[in-house]
Structure formats: structure tokens, C-alpha cells
Structure 1
Amino acid sequence: MIRTIAFDVGETLVRDDRFWASWADWLGAPRHTVSALVGAVVARGQDNAEALRLIWPHIDVDAEYRAREAAGRGEYLDESDVYEDVRPALTALREAGFRVVVAGNRTTKAADLLRALDLPADLVATSGEWGVAKPDPAFFERLVDEAGVPAGEILYVGDHPANDTLPARAAGLRAAHLRRGPWGHLWADDPRVAEAADHQVRSLLELVAALTLRDPCRPSG
């Protein structure tokens, strides 16, 4: 029985548009160029930061991140970054009896920004706070500890097969693949994703319907 629904952050709950646009502006590159390069490295199966290195080959990403923060041009999130289906979906899941957790690969500052959005979630945490990032199995071990239920009673929802769907399943969690964002669309038809995912959906409201109307793992009471 699924008791906890845990959500990835980027391209699951919030758009990455602002994130990459801000990097493009900082590097003095056209936003379309950065977006295209992100798509290219995604297709290659590389880390997102490789898109920045294609523009500045010797970039120290961490140092530039700190420089952006110092210049007042660092991380920022507001309601416009949140996908339209997030609040109604998370609210519906809590009303149906599920515990809702937000846990993804983001910085410590991002955790504060996410909490400031006051999403309908019981817990918000990031890899920066936990000191371990997906797809490391230790991330999912920490998630299980925080959820307080067995791994098999947690459904992890995310767009990125290599960071979300596959490692969550390998860690003993249930998995839902969201066809959203570049990663979610690119690998949506990968047979490994289809095999690992209990659900493959195009929106969070579609997931709510699957869990509350048809899924036998819906919690009772």
C-alpha cells in the first residue's frame, strides 16, 4: 500500500526556465543557445553543467554560482515558476490520505525558496540539506528514513529516468515517470522506464486520478 508520495523538484514541480535563463544572462549568451545546449547534453546523457562548459570551457560552476549570489543574481523562485497542476494535485493527494513529500536535487537555498512557496506538502527537503544527491542510493535511503514508512510504501514521482525513476525503483520504492521537461519527454518511451515505472503520466492531475480512482494501493482512512 502506498502511503507517501514523494516528488522531484525541477521539471516536476517547478519549471527550469528561469534557472537556465539566468545562467544564459550571467554568461552573456543568448537564452536560446543555452536551452539548445542543455538539450544537446541531455541527449548525450551528460550532466546539465556540461551545457555551461560548452560556452565557458574552463568554468568553475560552484565559483560562478557564488559570484552570482554575491551580485544579487542568484537563485530565485516565485509562484510563476510552479506548474499549474502542482497545488491542486498535491492538495488532492493529501485530502485522499497520502503524505506528500518534496525531495529533489537542489541547493540549501532552494529548500528555503521552496518552503517560502508554501506548497501543500508535509515535508520539503533538498539534496543540499541532506548532503547527498540523486541518483546516489543514499538519497533514497534518507528519503525512506524521513518518510517513516517502508520503501515499498513510497511512490517517487519525477521526470528524469536516470535520477528519479530507475534509482528509486532500484532502492525499493515505487516509481512514477512524468512526461514533462526535456528528460521526461526524451526518454518517455524507453523500455527501461516503462518496466520500472508503476505509472507513466503527462500531468500530476493524471497521477492523482490514477492513485485515487483506480489504484488499489490508495491508503484507507
Structure 2
Amino acid sequence: MGEQLGRAPEALDVYQRLRRVMVGELGIEPGAEARRLHQAVLVKDPVLDLPEVRQITPAAPAGLPADVQEFTARTAEVERLRADLTSDAAVIVIDGPGGIGKSALAVHGARIVAGRFTDGVIYVDLRGSTAGLAPLAPIEALRHLLRSLGLDGAAVPAGTEEAAARYRSLTAAGDLLVILDNAHDVRQVRPLVPAGRGCRVLITSRDPLATLNNARHPHLGRLDERSYVG
């Protein structure tokens, strides 16, 4: 075989070291792609015998919905949100009545600052006030978040507390923006707040979520009244 397979012992050693770290510190096995590559090296798959091997880096999540085409009516609110998202505020909760534009503002503001979050942006619709649908349970939201962070389905814990602990572990050193849109109450969102000091959480809700710790609570009002205050 070529040079790539000639370095098989080195590749196998790297995989074993990776597996020891992931199992020992995170309690999870390496992902499917790493396992497939490990098996290919073991069986000396000819597909590895290539003139040049392109290094594949996992893509950071970028799950924001489409932005609105024009967003000129809320210039002051957009600027305030941009400032909040680039400050040391870990959690920002935009509250206001239904249909006022909270979600549109959150998505627009997140797109402006997304580039500074090197670990990506994750969006979750929590369905807190969606007609005909029950609010998303915390474990359902955690499954979405963990999958977005690269965990395979089998590696996602079944219980809320264990899933929340895994989520905090994965985000402890992260630089991630999490959008929790249309939240129902504090109990729903509290397990979804990441642990990393570089992470930010932007929440929209009809409820101010006033008891959520370490949060800023701007209120989004009508265009004809003082807006995004708090």
C-alpha cells in the first residue's frame, strides 16, 4: 500500500488516544466517521491509498432560519441587541406580546454577530406559544442541541439530567451562540443554557422569564412605544 497505509500504526495510535480521552472525560465513544476511518485502516482499505488525503474538519453548526429581506423599522433595537450579544451578558431574554417581531429580531441580530462565535450557531424552536403544538420538552430540545454538536443518536442520553450534564460538558470551553426561540417558561430553558464563558444564549418568549439567573431581560414593545428596554 501507499504512504497513507504505511502510517497505519500511527493512525491507530491516534484513534486509541482519542477514544481514551472521549470515553474517560465525556463518557462517549468517537463518532461514526472516526469509527469508519479506524475500521478502514484496520482492514487496509484501498480507498485510503490516495495521492493526497484531504483533511476533513467537522463543520460548526449554522442552523439559523432565513433572515427577513428588510429590517429597517427596528434599527435601534437591532443595534442594542448587537451590543448585548457582543458584551459579557451570558443570557438575553427578549420578551413581548405575540406577533411583535421577537423571533425576527433574534434571527436578524444573530446573523449580524454569528461570525464571532467560532463554534457556530444553533437554533431551536421551543414551540412555547405555537397554536396546536405542545411546548418542546427539555429532553427533546437537548437531543437537538447534542446532535447539532456532533453526537450520534445512540450517544445522546435518554434522561434530561444526564443529557443536560453532557451538554454542559461539551460546551464548557465553547464559543457558541444558542437561539432558544418561542420559550414557554423558565423550567423549559434552564437545562438548555450552555456552560462555557464564551457561549451566549438568546431567548425569545412572551413570558419575561424573570427568575432566570444571570440574564438580561429587554422588553420588545410596539413600534409606537419605547422598545427593547430593560
Q: Same fold (TM over 0.5)?
A: no
What TM-score, normalized by structure 2, do the two folds share?
0.28
Provide TM-score, normalisation by structure 1: 0.29
Structure exhibiting the larger radius of gyration computed from Cα positions: 2
Task: Considering fraction of residues, name the structure with more helix.
Answer: 1
